């Protein structure tokens, strides 16, 4: 990544003057400059990386827990996690991680697919695989999902804005 100009913040008037936003509704959703677009993509990439690490950790714990036999002295031992849930979380984490990596490489398609795939997989997980009971824990998970979805949408906006600012055919079209 290119270094920022010394003594200037990425959101300064200098940055906005050199990189005008597109006209219309796309301009309202676009970043103010390439530096802000890179920040949005970086946060989305880090969020997807964290989600991949979380799902991989869950996957490893569930795999190890399924190999260890239950203790016969414990009467109310938890039932093992079904294989379909293990496979689902493993595949979902891998796909979200790959899309986040694509977003880090500034791919617009990965940026668009990341929030869409995340939203679809969370709806499937919450409605089909393991519906959450409405309590404080469920509220916490919904807040986490909404935060991740917000970061992924911001990453998609950043990818499209970055493409606008770095490809002269797009940025000079409205002048």
Interval 121-162: pLDDT, tens: 988 888 887 766 777 877 888 899 999 999 999 998 888 787
Interval 21-60: pLDDT, tens: 555 555 556 667 788 888 888 999 999 999 999 999 988 8
From residue 18, give the alpha-carbon distance in Å to each of 8, 79, 132, 154: 13, 60, 49, 22
Cα Rg, the chain, nearest whole Å: 21
Mean pLDDT of the chain: 77
d(CA 134, CA 150): 22
CA 70 to chain centre: 36
Better-scored residue on pLDDT, 61 or 76? 61
pLDDT at 16: 44
- For residue 168, name the pLDDT band (cuts at 50, 70, 90): low
Name the least confident of 26-30, 90-94, 163-167. Answer: 26-30
Buried b (16+ CB within 10 A) or exposed e, 44-80: bbebbeebbeebeebbeebeeeeeeeeeeeeeeeeee
- What is the rounded average pLDDT of the residues 81-95? 85
d(CA 89, CA 58): 8
Rounded to 5 degrees, what are φ and ψ at 84?
A: -65, -35
pTM above 0.85, yes or no: no
Name the least confident of 9-23, 79-93, 97-111, 131-145. Answer: 9-23
pLDDT at 15: 46
Please, is 19 exposed, middle or buried when counting C-beta atoms within 10 Å of its C-beta (0-12, 13-18, 19+)?
Answer: buried
Element (H, E) at 154: helix 136-166
């Amino acid at each position: 990544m290119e270094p920022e100009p010394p003594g200037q913040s990425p959101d300064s008037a200098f940055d906005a003057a050199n990189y005008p936003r597109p006209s219309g509704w796309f301009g309202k959703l676009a970043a103010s400059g390439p530096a802000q677009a890179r920040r949005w993509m970086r946060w989305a990439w880090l969020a997807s990386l964290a989600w991949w690490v979380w799902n991989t950790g869950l996957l490893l714990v569930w795999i190890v827990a399924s190999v260890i036999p239950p203790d016969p002295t414990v009467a109310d031992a938890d039932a093992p996690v079904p294989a379909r849930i293990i496979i689902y979380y493993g595949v979902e984490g891998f796909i979200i991680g790959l899309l986040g990596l694509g977003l880090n490489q500034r791919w617009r398609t990965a940026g668009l697919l990341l929030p869409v795939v995340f939203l679809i997989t969370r709806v499937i997980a919450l409605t089909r695989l393991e519906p959450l009971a409405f309590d404080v824990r469920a509220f916490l998970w919904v807040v986490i999902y909404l935060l991740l979805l917000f970061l992924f949408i911001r990453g998609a906006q950043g990818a499209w804005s970055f493409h606008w600012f770095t490809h002269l055919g797009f940025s000079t079209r409205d002048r």
